[in-house]
């Protein structure tokens, strides 16, 4: 008899798990309460990149004369057309996922997935009916929503979430973004390019304050924001927001992460803006799943703990994706990989999830790609490392494109030369990081990269240049 597998959530974790389990012979049903594709397709990766594409193109129009093109008139942003394009692309991607599920012989159920008891799930339909679904194994892939801060809750008008930013009908004259992490920085560049006056407030002492992101990347991004007249305030926190008839009066004060000596000298300041966007975290969608009916306890923040095989404390119940929380890595491609591990373990294979070589892709302007250890992580671990960097301005292709900001950096083991981390800030960094990911995954050395021929003229030469420099054979770098 076929193994019965139920998956709750059809995001990049859920639908991949369903397809893989079905391909291995399981009878799979997937439940989704909203649209397939999860946060990534509907409220994150894809729609924000659609907006970024327009922002990039808009900036290029303004630079047209530098490239020998005389524009016929002044370009303008048509938000209605942009949003229509966004919807068209997302609709197409959703149809593609449904086609994959159908071809993969995965049964799809629209509605809210819940746990009824041991080995029994159910889908609650919009019409009030309930369909029970027995299972041998269950995969939870319900994801997250933007964290709503009680001090300044979302209203969709003056105080916005990242979801609201993806549905703007007009570009605000001015906007303050709370949080200089990945989402906050990406939107800061997008909105600034489209014409908004942007302020970013980050409670930590640098932008992109993630251990995995090298400090050098943060410095470049902050410098590029300054060039684009984006105001950056670090080591400070928004302490109060007062709505006015024209927008919001935002009070900025001491950060809870500030050094006490520095904090004592901080003077409050106020900034008046049309809108404020809060981009500081996510909340797990675990509270209404019925976890208590099978004795599965999330942690005190609602995240679901799992082992290396993606199995929870309850045998036969697995969890993948953002619902695992920041203890893992909350990225779409990580969720898809966790999905493969979970599905294959369910079907009798022995897989363990590895996180040491997960590439990060940050779509700022310029982009940031990272994988493996940052220099500061290596130092914390007490590792003896050598770090080498080369600027993009050394590349002919970067000069031809007019995108010379940024650098590539390799963190390598001092004794063996093994590549421990790669950090790229510059044009198409999110594509170029794939070579770094392969190097970290396979334990390649800097010499291995230096001995690899990189085509000319390409941006990929940055990896050739930085590895040549790292082996004492620097050419243009």
Catalytic residue positions?
456
Query: What does each C-alpha distance from 126 to 8, 30, 110 come to in angstroms?
Result: 16, 16, 8
Report the run of H or E that residue 275 belongs to, with start and end. Answer: strand 275-278
Strands 407-413 and 419-426 come out as: antiparallel
Q: What is the DSSP letter of 372?
A: E
User: What are the φ and ψ backbone dihedral angles of 369, each rounded to 5 degrees?
Assistant: -125, 135
CA distance 322 to 334: 9
CA distance 198 to 190: 10
**Both tokens assigned to 458:** 């390409």
Do 441 and 357 touch, CB atoms closer than 8 A? Answer: yes
CA distance 121 to 132: 6
Letter string b/e over residues 329-350, b meaning 16 or more CB atoms within 10 A of that residue's CB: bbbbbbbbbbbbbbbbbbbeee
> CA 166 from chain center: how many Å?
15
DSSP reduced 3-state for 120: strand
Radius of gyration of the chain (CA): 24
> CA 271 from chain center: how many Å?
28
- Which of 121, 100, 123 shows the shortest CA–CA distance to 4? 121
Do 193 and 225 touch, CB atoms closer than 8 A? Answer: no
Do 310 and 21 touch, CB atoms closer than 8 A? Answer: no
Residues with Cβ within 8 Å of residue 438, at least 6 apart in sequence: 444
């Amino acid at each position: 008899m076929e193994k019965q597998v139920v998956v709750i959530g059809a995001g990049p974790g859920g639908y991949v798990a369903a397809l893989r389990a079905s391909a291995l012979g399981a009878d799979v049903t997937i439940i989704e309460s909203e649209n397939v594709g999860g946060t990534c397709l509907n409220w994150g990766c894809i729609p924000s990149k659609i907006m970024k594409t327009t922002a990039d193109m808009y900036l290029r129009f303004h630079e047209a004369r530098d490239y020998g093109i005389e524009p016929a008139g002044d370009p303008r942003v048509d938000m209605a057309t942009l949003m229509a394009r966004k919807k068209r692309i997302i609709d197409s991607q959703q149809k593609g996922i449904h086609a994959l599920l159908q071809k993969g012989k995965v049964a799809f159920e629209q509605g809210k997935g819940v746990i009824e008891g041991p080995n029994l799930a159910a889908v609650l339909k919009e019409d009030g009916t309930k369909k029970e679904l027995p299972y041998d194994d269950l995969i939870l892939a319900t994801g997250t929503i933007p964290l709503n801060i009680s001090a300044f809750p979302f209203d969709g008008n003056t105080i916005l979430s990242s979801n609201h930013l993806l549905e703007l009908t007009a570009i605000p004259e001015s906007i303050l973004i709370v949080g200089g992490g990945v989402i906050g920085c990406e939107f800061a560049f997008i909105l600034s390019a489209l014409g908004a006056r942007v302020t970013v407030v980050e409670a930590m002492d640098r932008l992109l304050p993630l251990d995995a992101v090298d400090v050098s990347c943060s410095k470049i991004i902050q410098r590029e924001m300054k060039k684009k007249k984006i105001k950056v305030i670090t080591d400070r926190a928004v302490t109060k927001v007062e709505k006015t008839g024209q927008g919001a009066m935002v009070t900025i004060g001491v950060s809870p992460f500030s050094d006490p000596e520095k904090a004592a000298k901080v003077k409050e300041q106020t900034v008046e803006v049309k809108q404020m966007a809060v981009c500081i975290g996510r909340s797990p969608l675990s509270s209404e799943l019925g976890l208590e009916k099978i004795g599965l306890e999330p942690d005190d923040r609602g995240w679901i703990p799992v082992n290396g095989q993606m199995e929870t404390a309850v045998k036969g119940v697995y969890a993948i994706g953002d619902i695992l929380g920041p203890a893992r890595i909350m990225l779409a491609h990580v969720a898809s990989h966790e999905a493969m591990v979970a599905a294959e373990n369910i079907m009798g294979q022995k897989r363990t999830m590895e996180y040491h070589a997960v590439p990060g892709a940050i779509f700022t302007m310029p982009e940031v790609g990272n994988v493996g250890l940052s220099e500061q992580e290596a130092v914390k671990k007490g590792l003896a490392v050598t770090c080498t960097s080369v600027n993009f301005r050394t590349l002919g292709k970067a000069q031809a494109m007019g995108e010379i900001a940024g650098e590539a950096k390799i963190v390598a083991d001092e004794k063996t030369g093994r590549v421990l981390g790669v950090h790229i800030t510059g044009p198409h960094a999110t594509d170029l990081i794939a070579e770094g990911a392969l190097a970290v995954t396979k334990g390649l050395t800097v010499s291995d990269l230096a001995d690899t021929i990189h085509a000319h003229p390409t941006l990929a030469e940055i990896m050739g240049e930085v590895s040549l420099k790292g082996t004492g054979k620097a050419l243009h770098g």
